[in-house]
Amino acid sequence: MPLTIAIDGPVGAGKSTISDEVANRLGILHLDTGAMYRAVGLAATGAGIDPADEKAVSALCEKGGAQVDIRYENGKQITLLNGEDVSSRIRTQEAGGAASAVSRYPAVRTMLVRRQQEMAQEQPMLLDGRDIGTVVLPHATVKIYLTASPEARARRRMDQLREKGDQTPFEEILKEVNARDYQDMNRALTPLRQAEDAILLDSSDLNFEETVSAILALVEEKYGH
């Protein structure tokens, strides 16, 4: 089996950017699995379906109306929905909300997990998400649970928002982080949790480079090449 790296963790832990950099330095592909749930969310809203309507979303998936494909261009992930590049459109707040709703449904998870497993069998890969170490790749070479305190994650989110001129108060951002944690960790189907054999990496007091280096050191230790 090729090298597989699983990185799971709560919202705002920096999974996506950290994963991109680690994969880049290792010369392997990075699959952002959240993008796939976002694409299904977009498929639902685009078809005029309420993402909260499990029956309608499941029926859409079963009849092939939410075909998610991933392509890479110069190592960069392109997310396709029914053949159309939706890489930018999935980055909206609305798509995130729709993704959160549809990610609760078995029909959606089964379809996407299967695709993720197929991709990881074909080439060395780093996957990031919520259930990679627990469900998608239970035998991953390296499993990391990347987290940070809710305050540290809210502070990072606040810095990003301030850069865009958004002045949302810290307390409000912290409340949102805690609400997302609760939702992700308490859903019925494969809630976010640390796999028993995952290494806990708390980045509260680490900067970007320190976090990347820590993960590369863990990969080296486990995979050593």
Q: Residues in the site for ligand DC, rule: CB under 6 A? A: 33-34, 37-38, 96, 99-100, 103, 129-131
Pick the closer one to ligand DC by CB: 112 or 225: 112
Q: What's the token pair of residue 185?
A: 């960790």
Q: What's the token pair of residue 116?
A: 């993720």
CB of 195 to ligand DC, least distance (A): 13
Rounded Cα distance, 82 and 67, in Å: 5
CB of 77 to ligand DC, least distance (A): 12
Pick the closer one to ligand DC by CB: 160 or 217: 160
CB of 220 to ligand DC, least distance (A): 25
Q: What are phi and psi of 66, to 5 degrees?
A: -135, 65
Pick the closer one to ligand DC by CB: 119 or 221: 119
One-letter amino acid at 209 equals: E
Q: What's the token pair of residue 158?
A: 């606040």
Pick the closer one to ligand DC by CB: 42 or 201: 42
Pick the closer one to ligand DC by CB: 168 or 220: 168
CB of 25 to ligand DC, least distance (A): 21
Gyration radius of the chain over CA positions: 17
Instruction: Report DSSP state, residue 89.
Output: G
CB of 88 to ligand DC, least distance (A): 14
Pick the closer one to ligand DC by CB: 152 or 180: 180
Rounded Cα distance, 92 and 113, in Å: 23
Rounded Cα distance, 44 and 52, in Å: 10
CB of 37 to ligand DC, least distance (A): 3
